[in-house]
Amino acid sequence: AAGGAGLTSGTSAMEYTTTPWYCAVFSLSAYVAELAALGLAELGREPARLAAERARVGAETRRLAFEHYRAFIRSAECTGRAGRGFGGIESRLGSLLDRLPALQDACRNFVRDAEAILAAYVRPPCTRPCSKEPALAAGLDPMVFRGPFQPLQFRDSLPPQGIVAEVRQSTQLMLNELIQQLRTNIPLPTCLRVIGYLRRMDVFTEAELRIKFLQARDAWLRSIQASIPEDDPYFHLTKTVEACRVHLFDIVTQYRAIFSDEEPLLAPDQPTLNEGAIFHGWVLQKVSEFLQVLERDLQRGVGGRLDSLLGQCMYFGLSFSRVGADFRGQLAPIFQRVAAATFGKAVEEAVEKFQEEMNSYTLISAPAVLGSAAAVPVPTAQPGTLQPPMVLLDFPPLACFLNSLLVAFNDLRLCCPIALAQDVATCLQDALSKVTKIILAFHRAEEAAFSGREQELFVQFCTAFLEDLLPYLNRCLQVLFPPAQIAQALGVPPAQLQRFGRLGCVDAAAIGELLAAVLPAREAEPLPGEEEPVPQSAVPAPAPCPPQQREEGAVVGEPPAAQGQEDPADPAVGALLPDTPPAVS
């Protein structure tokens, strides 16, 4: 029974040992346990069994190696490659572990900047509608165009170029919209908002922003000036003065409210730039342009409304004095030149008209009884005015010549600066010299046919010219240019004014010397009454014209439509021209 039990146990052990040696459950401890359970006989046979098993396994191994040698070779190669791959993986895993901290930092930065990156992607669709709306605050308040890109530090990549280009295009569109608003009639609060937006966009420096503002506002002002019709010089000039006075002053006020020249624009360590020179240069340019327009329109002719324009321009200059740009001193030379040119043209026309009168004048056409004008009722003149010599009624050319000069005087008194005293006197002196030459030419042409009566009339003609017309013109000049004012302008007492010659007076003696050859000797003596005192606030009344020349004489101070409407039955009404212009203020 024991042997049977041992055999059974041995058999089971053999069966167990014949199982493949590479079985996963086989282990040395299990084999030792089996050996311990065997009997002595089985232990004796165990070495033989192990040798046989060894031979069998060797033969099986050789058979397998012979049959499957290719698989073994590929297995060895794969094992080698796998070993090498695992080595590379190990080295790369080490490098990955070294770089994980940097990856963690990059992820943290990405999470922190995610909102800004999202805003950069969303911004272009938002800027397009905002740039087209009138209220640009909706487009500018939630964004600053360069904001999303400036704080981000893109190390190895740039933001998408399409987004950058679209943002740049939207920025330019909104910039154009803002500048276009400055080219319209906008009030100061709107200007402040627009400039605030431009500053937030940060596309201009402070100096460039000032230049852009002045350029845009200047374009708007020029558009207003260009819309004024230029057909009528007076209308164009008055509207230009009004537009410049109102709108230019508004632009200056807006500029000073937006930009402060007193505050430093640069850091102390940077070179100082005179930003205020931009504004002052622009103001000087606008004043210069206005003066050019003024001079051009005045040269085109504004009629007898020079005083009105002078008052408007002076008020314009006075209003600019509040902003430190008083240019009234530059207005005086312009109006002085225009007044002198207008007076010179009127005097020249008077000389030409006198020439025409003398070409058709005959001494026989004079009144039969000299001094008949004494019988003509003299109109009552206003107190303080000068009454023209009534003896000139007997000589139509002289009367009409004087009347033309009085028209020129009345136009001159509207704008009569004291600086024109000598220029006006010189102009009159030249005109009287020409008139004298015309009289001498008339004498040479008619002397051979003169009768005794005509010779007497010619002498009285020259006498009236020298003794009545010339002294009267000097009195008119003293009314226009009082000697006291001339002395005050020169800084000398009135009593010493004679030391400077005949300032503001016609040299009657020089004219008398020209006519001395055709007059009796007694007529060449110094003419009386030249220094007769005259009222300082008076204006010369118009010179009389003879009845037959009434249509050619101009009524000074009366509209042209009112001339020639007097009763023709009374010859004195049309001849005396009773209307008197207002006194000089």
The model's pLDDT over 10-20, given as tens digits with 9 standing for 90+, comes to 444 444 444 44
**Is the pLDDT confidence value at 236 over 50?**
yes
Question: Tell me, what's the pLDDT at 159?
Answer: 57
Instruction: Say if residues 204 and 212 touch (Cβ distance below 8 Å).
Output: yes
Alpha-carbon 228 to chain mean position: 17
Q: In Å, how far are 169, 174, 183, 475, 507 from 138, measured between CA atoms? A: 18, 12, 21, 76, 80
pLDDT, average across residues 545-559: 34
The confidence band for 350, taking pLDDT boundaries of 50, 70 and 90, is very high
Instruction: Kindly report the average pLDDT of the chain as a whole number.
Output: 75
Q: Alpha helices of 68-202 — where are they, by DSSP H?
A: 69-132, 137-140, 161-182, 188-201
- The residue with greater pLDDT, 8 or 81, is 81
- In single-letter form, the type of residue at position 572 comes to A
CB atoms within 10 A of CB 273: 13
CB-based burial label for 366 (10 Å; 0-12, 13-18, 19+):
buried
Contact at 8 Å (CB) between 411 and 304? yes
Confidence category of residue 578, pLDDT binned at 50, 70, 90: very low
Count of all residues that appear for the chain in the document: 585
pLDDT score recorded for residue 324: 80
Percent of the residues in the chain that have a pLDDT greater than 70, as a whole number: 70
**pLDDT band at residue 452 using 50, 70 and 90 as cut-offs:** confident
pLDDT on residue 304: 73
Q: Tell me, what's the pLDDT at 386?
A: 75
The answer on pLDDT for 431 being more than 90 is yes
Query: Does the pLDDT of residue 249 top 60, yes or no?
Result: yes
Domain boundary assignment for the chain: 2-67, 182-263+275-326, 345-371+391-535
Whether 384 shows a pLDDT value over 60: the answer reads no
Bridge partners (DSSP) of residue 386 are 540
Q: Mind listing the pLDDT tens digit for each residue in 18-76? A: 444 444 445 788 888 888 888 888 888 888 888 998 999 999 888 888 888 888 888 88
Name the band, by pLDDT with cuts 50, 70 and 90, for residue 201: confident
Which pLDDT score is estimated for 158? 55
Give the separation between CA 79 and CA 477, rounded to whole angstroms: 132
DSSP H or E run through 16: helix 2-17
Of 55-59, 203-207, 284-288, 563-567, where does mean pLDDT reach its minimum? Answer: 563-567
The pLDDT tens digits of the residues spanning 511-541 come to 888 888 888 765 444 444 444 444 443 344 4
| Residue 24, pLDDT score | 40
Mean pLDDT to the nearest integer, 545-549: 36
Question: Does position 368 have pLDDT exceeding 80, yes or no?
Answer: no
**Cβ-defined contacts of 319-327 (< 8 Å, 24+):** 319/245, 319/249, 320/248, 320/249, 320/287, 323/249, 323/252, 323/253, 323/256, 323/283, 325/252, 325/283, 325/284, 325/287, 327/287, 327/291
Q: Is the pLDDT of residue 542 over 70?
A: no
Q: Which pLDDT band holds residue 456 (cuts at 50, 70, 90)? A: confident
Q: How confident is the model at residue 439 (pLDDT cuts 50, 70, 90)?
A: very high
Taking 60 as the threshold, does the pLDDT of residue 270 lie above it?
A: no
pLDDT the model gives residue 399: 92
Spatial separation of the C-alpha atoms in residues 188 and 190, rounded to whole Å = 5
**Average pLDDT for 93-110:** 88
Query: Residues 461-493: pLDDT tens digits?
Result: 999 999 999 999 999 998 898 888 888 888 888
Residue 455 confidence (pLDDT): 86
- Conformational region of residue 468, where left means phi above 0, alpha means psi within -120 to 50, and beta covers everything else: alpha
Measured distance CA(21)–CA(29) in Å, rounded: 14
